[in-house]
Amino acid sequence: MTDQPLKAAILGASGYTGAETVRILRNHPNVTPVAATGNALAGKKLSGIFPHLRGKHDLDVIKAEDVDWNGVDVVFGCLPHGTSQDLIETLPAHVKVVDLSSDYRFRDADLYSQAYGREHIAPERTAKAIYGLSEHNGEQMMGSNLVACPGCYPTAILMVLLPLMKPMIIDRDAIIIDAKSGATGAGRGLKEGNLFSEVTEGLHAYGVGTHRHTPEIEQELNLRAGLNDIEVTFTPHLIPMARGEHVTCHLRGDVDSIHAALSAAYADQPFVSVLPLGSPPPDTRHVRGTNDCRIAVFKDRAKGRVIVIAVIDNLVKGSSGQAIQNLNLMMGWDQALGLDALLPLFP
Ligand SMILES: NC(=O)C1=CN([C@@H]2O[C@H](COP(=O)(O)OP(=O)(O)OC[C@H]3O[C@@H](n4cnc5c(N)ncnc54)[C@H](OP(=O)(O)O)[C@@H]3O)[C@@H](O)[C@H]2O)C=CC1
Ligand SMILES: CC(=O)N[C@@H](CCC(=O)OP(=O)(O)O)C(=O)O
């Protein structure tokens, strides 16, 4: 516990990742949510929008322009991309930022423009922001004022692939990723594709060959490997469940070397576990509601091929949980503060 808890504003608290950030912060000894913002839902009580928070958090949801920034130390930016940078660039300098959107993930603002179809309003800041994959960039986050949390798919995928990049122990020209996400990954906004009847009892791919997370994944792989030619095939799917994410990486390499590299990378990490060889495949329910990532490695019967599976909860390790872990790292606190009490909800 610090003498004075940090005062946090949650921008976009009326959305899924904002509400999840508020929920998890209830367990945090060093951070107090003092402001919650929304847009269409401003004017309501947070517990009125999200009854599961009733009696736990009774913040009023207000417009960002009505926040008293003098009373705020840190913001969690849980806003759509584009909106996020427009607001973050107006904040006073004393406010630390943990952004969950994609706005500050690209080192190169031109790459951002290509992927998102708009110019970045602060290219110099995005170049300096720390890419917040907690287990890999924690040291760089210490003392930083702006951390850009990875997308939910890149979180699980990079957790598998980064430890295999240096030394390069897989065939870098043969990386194929099949990924599946629950519907909360698309946010709470009313969209036809998120209707129950459009999602239930079916499964479909989307963004095939074009998803905006592909350049984000490739950026981090190339940076880690010291190369510029790594490309991956990434196919996401929407599955009929609310939360959870499952990624299957099809690789070429040696199963024992891959398992050893992953086990070594996460040996001291509280939230990432690499299952022993021969374990059954992990289920998204094994991490549901937690900041955990579980990884399992399998030898394929096809010669030289290895399959690595990772599961996370998109609303925790894939967004709000990792954001809180990143704030802990920025502040030099134990990275597990507020997060280690979360146990999986099973079944
Ligand atoms: N959902 C997930 O699994 C993940 C999401 N992310 C990223 O996190 C961010 C938030 O995602 P998520 O919580 O799912 O999104 P939601 O759609 O559930 O919530 C969006 C929030 O932003 C607010 N908002 C929307 N437009 C504006 C605006 N013009 N001005 C001010 N506020 C606005 C909404 O307010 P209101 O509802 O009151 O209008 C709401 O509070 C996004 O950038 C997303 O890509 C990252 C990783 C995983
Ligand atoms: C199921 C679903 O739609 N998922 C979202 C990814 C969620 C995420 O990580 O979004 P950001 O990169 O915007 O932060 C998508 O595919 O666009």
Distance 272 CA to ligand 2 centre (A): 21
3.30.499.10, 3.40.449.10, 3.30.360.10, 1.10.510.10: which CATH number matches 153-316?
Answer: 3.30.360.10
339: Cβ–Cβ under 8 A, 6 or more apart, which residues?
24, 27, 271, 291, 321, 324, 325, 328
Residue 166 DSSP class? T
Atom of ligand 2 nearest to the CA of 153: 9
What residues are in contact with ligand 1 under a 6 Å CB criterion? Answer: 12, 14-18, 38-42, 78-81, 83, 100-101, 151-152, 184-185, 187-189, 314-315, 318-319
**Residue of the nearest CA to atom 15 in ligand 2?**
186
Does residue 195 carry a pLDDT above 80? yes
Determine if the peptide bond prior to 281 is cis (ω within 30°): no
Instruction: Give residue 3's pLDDT.
Output: 72
Distance from Cα 77 to the centre of ligand 1, integer Å: 9
Average pLDDT of every residue of the chain? 97
* Atom number, ligand 1, closest to the C-alpha of residue 155: 47
Q: Is 152 a catalytic residue?
A: yes
CATH numeric code, 6-128 = 3.40.50.720
Widest distance between CA atoms in the chain: 61
ipTM exceeds 0.90: yes
User: Catalytic one among 78, 149, 152, 249?
Assistant: 152
The ligand 2 atom at the shortest distance from the C-alpha of residue 181 is 1
Q: Is the pLDDT of residue 1 over 90?
A: no
Whether 281 and 296 have beta carbons less than 8 Å apart is answered as: yes
**Residue 346, helix vs strand vs coil:** coil
Mean pLDDT of all residues in 86-100: 98
Rounded distance from Cα 318 to ligand 2 centre (Å) = 10
For the whole model, what pTM was predicted?
0.97
CA distances from 212 to 65, 139, 201, 237 (A): 30, 27, 26, 14
Where in the chain are the domains? 6-128, 153-316
Half-sphere exposure of 204 (CA within 13 A, CB side): 10
Judge whether 266 and 274 are in contact, CB under 8 Å.
yes
Listed in sequence order, the residues at least 6 apart from 302 whose beta carbon sits closer than 8 Å to its beta carbon are: none
| Ligand 2 midpoint to CA 214 (Å) | 12
- Judge whether 6-128 and 153-316 match in fold: no
> What's the pLDDT at 135?
98
Average pLDDT estimate for 167-182: 98
Angle at 333 between CA 69 and CA 75, to 5 degrees: 20
Instruction: Give the confidence band of 182 by pLDDT, cuts at 50, 70, 90.
Output: very high
Residue 290 CA to ligand 2 center (angstroms) comes to 19
Q: Over the stretch 66-92, which tens digit does the pLDDT of each residue have?
A: 999 999 999 999 999 999 999 999 999
Q: What share of the chain is helix, strand, coil (3-state, %, to 5)?
A: 35, 20, 45
Structural contact between residues 94 and 73, judged by C-beta atoms closer than 8 angstroms = yes
Probe residue for ligand 2, chosen from 101, 105, 181 as the CB with the greatest number of ligand atoms within 8 Å: 181
Tell how far the Cα of 30 is from the centroid of ligand 1, in angstroms.
Answer: 25
Measured from the alpha carbon of residue 183, the closest ligand is: 2
Confidence of residue 2 (pLDDT cuts 50, 70, 90): low
Ligand 2 atom index nearest CA of 318: 9
Q: Which residues line ligand 2 (CB under 6 A)?
A: 81, 101-102, 151-153, 181, 185-186, 236, 238
- In degrees, rounded to 5, the angle at the alpha carbon of residue 77 between the alpha carbons of residues 145 and 116 is 100
Give CA–CA dist 249/53, Å, rounded.
Answer: 36
pLDDT of residue 276: 98
**Whole-angstrom Cα distance, residue 230 to residue 317?**
25
